[in-house]
Structure 1
């Protein structure tokens, strides 16, 4: 596998953005890590960070490069600051960047990556789990499968907990007035309830049973199941930390591969 660190310019954000990229590469080694380059039409995973992270955090905190080598999967890891993958009220349009501009840039720079829905996936942890789910729910024509690890999936139902994490000014800077969040295009539960099931990608949701966001994952799974939208829910002992995410991202990759 090849690991690249890229500085790209975002016209949407009007700023330089860092993106880490893992690409399949033809290699021959004697230590059990030989990989092959599939040429064109390489499957691609957009892997999103959580609060406090950036483009580098998956590479630094897990063995993601080694994990994906078994699947010949390209991985795109962008930095989106603390913007919650949302077009914010302070005019930083992180949603438009991640959902529209970034894929265009990626395919311009790496034309060997697939543009097919069947070969395009998204995953993330915590804030990134929210972002990945939003991609799958709002852009179902683009993604075959989407995974959330410890995601903030029921924000409208737990706003009081969010206000303990950050101030109201912060959340309204991201999403606008709190009173308008429920039922908006940023409310994942609303998106689940309005998505046509026949258009939906496959969803995978996992959360540690000791994580304070575990009830949110259960609630989202219940809503998906009620709509007959395909969802796999797996949980295990764990809290909101990298020990859990390093373990379960491996399961996510296997689930994507199993199709």
Structure 2
């Protein structure tokens, strides 16, 4: 087990190093002009103690002056470790794909906070920010369906973990969850077994036996969930590339979903932990979100 985690973390560190390098390059480059259907927004967050950026991707035909005559489903789409809220629109064809679907997509900023309220930094309350501030703000400002049936959450890597966690912890809020190459076993990362990345996780989740870590361990959450609660979970879409270093971890979570009889769809394709795979997956997920009957 320890050796498996060490191998996974070493691969994670390489990916993170590449992501951080890309972020630095992007920051030094000239600002990129956004597609016409992408809006850059900021929310003055009381919980985070700072302005939080996010982007909103709008479908064809969306009328910003049309009030709420027509309500659209909304996907909250989470980025990965070392990334930012801009990644999904900058690194995939998301803006073009959304034009063809009657869905609004919101890409929040998650820092490197694992979409969790940090035990060590009081103003890094990413979970509470998304649930208690961002979602109500989007529902107030945009023509999105404010009911569970129209609210969807998904993400890649760290964001896949965040989306899966939100689906398990807040099943009354989301009808559909998507995890692409999810880093689903993050609660097992510590400084002892995962070095620098584990140290970062410790600063967010606390030590190995902390209550915060236990409350954010999605394997433990699902394992302990009674059948009546499982029946009320959102539909789950899970995917991972077969050459991804998180493939085995995703297979383990699939086994647990199967054991608990969770409503789900699982996809595995040849692919790495990269944007080629995630670009293909957001296209598949948009199609799934549009064709699935809302419940």
TM-score (norm 1): 0.89
The answer on 1:48 being equivalent to 2:81 is no
Deviation per residue, 1:25-75 (Å, 9 max, x gap):
428xxxxxxxxx994221100000001111110001000011122221000
Q: Which runs of 5+ in 2 are unaligned?
A: 1-35
Partner of residue 33, structure 1: none
Partner of residue 54, structure 2: 19
Partner of residue 264, structure 2: 231
The answer on 1:220 being equivalent to 2:253 is yes
DSSP 3-state at the match of 1:251? helix
Partner of residue 6, structure 1: 41
Quote how far apart the aligned CAs of 1:251 are.
Answer: 1.1
Q: 1:200 to 1:71 in 2, by over 3 A?
A: same
Write out aligned runs for 1:25-36 (5 A): 25-26=60-61
CA distance in 1, matches of 2:187, 2:135: 29
The answer on 1:127 being equivalent to 2:130 is no
Write out aligned runs for 1:1-259 (5 A): 2-26=37-61, 39-89=69-119, 90-91=121-122, 92-110=124-142, 112-157=143-188, 163-164=194-195, 166-168=197-199, 170-180=200-210, 184-195=214-225, 196-259=229-292
Quote how far apart the aligned CAs of 1:5 are.
Answer: 0.2
Deviation per residue, 1:101-160 (Å, 9 max, x gap):
1111111222x1111111111110000001110111111011111000000112345658
Deviation per residue, 1:142-200 (Å, 9 max, x gap):
111100000011234565897146242x2211111123379712101112123311210
Q: 1:158 to 1:175 in 2, by over 3 A?
A: closer
Q: Could you tell which deviates more after superposition, 201-210 or 185-194? A: 185-194
CA distance in 2, matches of 1:50, 1:59: 13
Q: Which runs of 5+ in 1 are unaligned?
A: 28-36
DSSP 3-state at the match of 2:251? helix
Partner of residue 30, structure 1: none
Instruction: Give the length in aligned residue pairs.
Output: 248
CA distance in 2, matches of 1:250, 1:162: 36
Q: Is the 8 A contact 1:49 1:57 kept in 2?
A: yes
CA distance in 1, matches of 2:255, 2:196: 25
Quote how far apart the aligned CAs of 1:234 are.
Answer: 0.4
CA-atom RMSD, angstroms?
A: 2.1
Q: Is the 8 A contact 1:156 1:181 kept in 2?
A: no
CA distance in 1, matches of 2:244, 2:169: 26
Q: Could you tell which deviates more after superposition, 177-186 or 112-121? A: 177-186
